[in-house]
C-alpha cells in the first residue's frame, strides 16, 4: 500500500509524468518500427522471392524466417531507447532492458529454428538425399537450441551467469535422462536408420506388430509416419524400427520387377498320359511345337535304347497332360510382354496334398506398379484356369453349391 501511495503522490506531483510519456513514446516508436519492418520490408522481400527462380529463398519464406527476424527491430528499439527516457528509475530501466534482451534471445532462437526448418526442406527437396534424411538431426538441434535459449533467458532475467545454471545440470543428469529417454532412444535409432539406409521417405514397409502396410511419408526424430493402403496413417516410435523387425519393399521397387507366386491345385484324378492324336494336336500349337517335337525324339530314342514295349504304359516313357501344360505355361510366360526376362521364371509342381497337386507359377512382372501388377497376375491365372480343359485337366475345389445339388441328383 505504501508503494502505491508513493507512486500516486509522485504522479500527482508530475514526477512520473515525464517517464510515462517517455515510455508511451518509446512504445509508439517500437510499434512503428515493427510495422515498417514487418509490413513494408518483409513484404518487399517476399515479393522479390516470388519473382526469384531459386528454391532456398522460397523455403525461408515458407518457414517464416524473415518474419521472425523482424521481431529484432522493435525489441532493439526498446532495449536501446529505454536508457534515454528521463526520470525513469534505474530499477525500471534495468528491468525493461533485461526483458527486451530476453525477448531478443527468444527471437534469435525462433529465427534459427526457422532457418533449420528451411535447411531441412531444401536438403530433402533433392531426390538423392531422400535416403539420408536429416530431419532427426534438425529436431535434435532444435531441442538443444531450446534448452540453451531457456537457460540464457532465465539467466538474463535473474541477472545471473549462465554458468551457474549449467553447473546445476550435472546434478539433474538422472532426471534429464528420464525426461529425455525417448528422445535419446530416438536419436540413436535415427542415426542407425540413416547410417544403415534402413528406411526413408517413399519406402513401402510392412510391420505386422503395429498393423503397418504402406508408404513411409515422414521420418522424424521421435516418429515415423506410414500411410497404409487404406489411406489411414500409422505413427510408429522411431526406436521401434530398431527393436522390432519390419519388411522393406524398396529392393523390389528398385529391381524393376515384382514377383508372382501363385499355385493352382490340379485334381490328381485328371492327370493321365496323352494319346497319339492329342500329341499331334498339341504339336500344332505354336508355343508347344518345338517342345513336342523334341520330346517325341527324346522319348522314342530312350524307349528304343532300353528295348521297352510300347504296349505297356508302365514300361515306357510317355507324355502326360500335366507335364505338357507345365511346358506350355513355361513358354507362355517366356513370351509374355509384361514378364521380366532377367529374373527367375519357372512353372513347377509342388508336393501333392489332399487338395490336389499344386502347379505353381513363379515369375516377375516387368513393372512394380500395384494396379498393373494385379492386372497382369489376374490375366495369367485366368488364362491358365480357362486352358485346363484343353489338356483334359481340372482344378481342385471343395464341393459346394451346384456340385452338391448335382451329387444329390445322382444319389436320387
**Position with higher pLDDT, 20 vs 290:** 290
Residues 233 and 140 in one domain: no
Residues 279 and 153 in one domain: no
298 shares a domain with 334? no
Length of the chain measured in residues: 412
How many helical (H) and strand (E) elements, i.e. helices and strands, does the chain have?
18, 8
Instruction: Summarize pLDDT for 167-204 with one digit per residue, the tens.
Output: 666 656 666 666 667 777 777 777 777 767 788 888 88
pLDDT at 47: 75
Q: Are residues 136 and 45 in the same domain?
A: yes
Domain boundary (150, 169, 188) is at 169
Q: Per-residue confidence at 312, pLDDT binned at 50, 70, 90?
A: low
Residue 58 and residue 25 in one domain? yes
Q: Is 64 part of any domain?
A: yes
Which is nearest to 133 in space by CA: 78, 194, 64? 194
390 and 312 within one domain = no
Q: Give pLDDT tens digits for 112-151.
A: 888 888 888 888 777 766 667 777 778 778 888 888 888 8
CATH number of the domain where residue 404 is located = 3.30.70.100
State how far the Cα of 383 lies from the Cα of 287, in Å rounded to an integer.
14
182 domain-assigned: no
The answer to the question of residue 98 being in a domain is: yes
In a domain, 188, yes or no: no
Q: Which three cell numbers stand for residue 390?
A: 484343353
Of 177-186, 205-214, 289-298, 315-324, the poorest mean pLDDT is in: 177-186
| pLDDT of 315 higher than 70 | no
pLDDT tens digits for 71-96?
888 888 888 877 777 777 777 778 88
Whether 262 and 342 map to the same domain: the answer is yes
218-245 pLDDT tens trace: 888 788 899 998 899 999 888 888 888 8
Has residue 1 got a pLDDT over 50? no
Give the global pTM. Answer: 0.58
Residue 41 lies in a domain: yes
Does residue 268 sit in the same domain as residue 279? no
Per the model's pLDDT, the better-predicted residue between 163 and 150 turns out to be 150
What range does the domain containing 75 cover? 2-169
**pLDDT for residue 298 is more than 80:** yes
Q: Give the residue from 95, 97, 103 showing the smallest Cα distance to 34.
A: 103
Task: Compute the C-alpha angle 127/128/129, nearest 5°.
Answer: 90
Domain co-membership, 228 together with 338: no
N- to C-terminal Cα distance for the chain? Answer: 111
Q: Contact at 8 Å (CB) between 383 and 332?
A: yes
**If you average pLDDT over every residue of the chain, what do you get?**
81
241 with 283, same domain: the answer is: no
Give the Cα-Cα-Cα angle 151, 157, 158 (nearest 5 degrees). 85
What percentage of the chain has pLDDT greater than the value 90? 28
Same domain, 46 and 148: yes
Q: Are residues 289 and 341 in the same domain?
A: no
User: How many independent structural domains does the chain possess?
Assistant: 4
Amino acid at each position: 500500500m505504501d508503494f502505491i501511495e508513493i507512486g500516486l503522490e509522485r504522479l500527482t506531483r508530475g514526477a512520473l509524468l515525464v517517464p510515462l510519456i517517455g515510455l508511451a513514446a518509446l512504445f509508439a516508436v517500437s510499434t512503428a518500427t515493427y510495422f515498417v519492418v514487418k509490413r513494408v520490408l518483409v513484404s518487399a522481400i517476399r515479393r522479390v522471392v516470388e519473382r526469384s527462380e531459386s528454391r532456398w529463398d522460397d523455403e525461408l519464406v515458407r518457414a517464416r524466417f524473415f518474419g521472425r527476424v523482424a521481431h529484432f527491430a522493435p525489441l532493439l528499439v526498446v532495449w536501446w531507447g529505454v536508457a534515454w527516457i528521463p526520470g525513469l528509475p534505474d530499477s525500471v530501466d534495468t528491468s525493461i532492458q533485461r526483458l527486451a534482451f530476453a525477448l531478443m534471445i527468444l527471437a534469435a532462437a525462433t529465427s534459427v529454428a526457422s532457418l533449420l526448418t528451411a535447411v531441412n526442406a531444401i536438403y530433402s527437396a533433392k531426390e538423392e538425399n531422400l535416403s539420408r534424411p536429416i530431419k532427426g538431426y534438425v529436431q535434435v538441434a532444435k531441442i538443444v537450441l531450446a534448452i540453451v535459449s531457456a537457460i540464457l533467458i532465465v539467466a538474463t532475467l535473474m541477472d545471473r551467469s549462465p554458468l551457474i545454471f549449467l553447473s546445476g545440470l550435472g546434478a539433474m543428469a538422472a532426471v534429464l535422462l528420464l525426461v529425455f529417454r525417448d528422445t535419446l532412444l530416438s536419436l540413436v535409432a535415427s542415426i542407425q536408420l540413416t547410417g544403415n539406409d534402413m528406411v526413408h521417405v517413399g519406402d513401402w514397409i510392412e510391420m505386422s506388430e503395429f498393423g503397418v502396410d504402406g508408404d513411409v511419408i515422414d521420418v522424424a526424430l521421435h516418429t515415423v509416419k506410414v500411410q497404409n493402403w487404406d489411406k489411414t496413417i500409422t505413427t510408429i516410435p522411431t526406436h521401434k524400427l530398431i527393436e522390432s523387425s519390419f519388411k522393406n519393399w524398396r529392393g523390389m521397387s528398385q529391381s524393376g520387377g515384382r514377383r508372382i507366386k501363385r499355385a493352382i491345385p490340379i485334381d490328381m484324378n485328371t492327370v493321365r498320359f496323352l494319346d497319339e492324336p492329342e500329341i499331334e494336336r498339341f504339336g500344332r500349337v505354336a508355343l508347344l511345337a518345338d517342345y513336342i517335337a523334341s520330346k517325341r525324339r527324346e522319348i522314342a530314342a530312350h524307349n528304343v535304347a532300353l528295348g521297352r514295349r510300347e504296349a505297356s504304359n508302365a514300361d515306357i516313357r510317355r507324355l502326360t497332360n500335366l507335364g505338357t501344360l507345365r511346358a506350355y505355361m513355361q513358354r507362355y510366360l517366356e513370351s509374355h510382354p509384361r514378364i521380366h526376362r532377367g529374373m527367375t521364371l519357372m512353372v513347377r509342381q509342388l508336393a501333392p496334398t489332399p487338395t490336389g497337386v499344386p502347379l505353381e507359377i513363379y515369375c516377375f512382372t516387368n513393372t512394380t506398379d500395384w494396379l498393373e501388377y494385379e492386372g497382369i497376375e489376374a490375366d495369367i491365372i485366368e488364362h491358365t484356369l480357362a486352358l485346363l480343359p484343353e489338356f483334359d485337366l481340372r482344378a481342385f475345389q471343395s464341393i459346394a453349391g451346384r456340385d452338391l445339388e448335382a451329387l444329390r441328383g445322382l444319389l436320387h
